[in-house]
Structure formats: structure tokens, C-alpha cells
Amino acid sequence: MVINFTTQVWKEGEMYVSYTPELDISSCGETVAKAKKNLLEAVEGFLETAEGMGSLVEILEEAGFTKKGMVWEAPKVVSVERTKLEFSK
């Protein structure tokens, strides 16, 4: 099985945080590469656990993934932007 998902990485202090919004899983590392590697390991562990519990397909479908052959595709991102909102209490 192959799963395609979005990876976001940002810096918090001295660490890099990696995150996949479709699965709501995050990890971190001292470099961007290490954060991404750790995220892949976290996602793999999550998928193996879900498969072992018999809930993997249900989880992926509820998250909006679609299956094309042996590949699970995350929903396509159509827009990413920084947004500013000023408000008063």
C-alpha cells in the first residue's frame, strides 16, 4: 500500500515540527530532514496500529482519502495562505 499525504514543517524555538493535517499527526526533529523522517515513522506506526485494529480503511475514508488501486490519496489542497485578522475584545 502507498499513502500520499501533505507534510508541513515549521520551526519552534530550536526544533522543527512536521505535521500531516489529513491524519492530524505530528513529530519533530533538530533538522527539517530529521523532523520529516520522524513524521514518516509516526505515520507508519499509526497506520500499522490502525490496520491491526481493523479500522484503517474507515479512518482513511473519514479523513477524505480516496483509494486508486493500491494508492491512498489525501484530499487535494486547493489553497494555502497566511491570513491576518484584527479584532478587538
CATH of the domain at 44: 3.30.160
Q: Which domain holds residue 45?
A: 2-73
Instruction: Enter the pTM of the model.
Output: 0.89
Element containing residue 62 per DSSP (H, E): helix 56-62
Phi, psi of 52 (to 5 degrees): -65, -30
Does 65 fall in a domain? yes
Does 57 fall in a domain? yes
pLDDT digits (tens, 9 = 90+) for 64-81: 999 999 999 999 989 989
- Res. 89 pLDDT band, cuts 50 70 90: confident
Report the pLDDT value the prediction gives residue 62, as an integer from 0 to 100. 96
Question: CB–CB of 35/28 below 8 Å?
Answer: yes
pLDDT digits (tens, 9 = 90+) for 16-59: 999 999 999 999 999 999 999 999 999 999 999 999 999 999 99
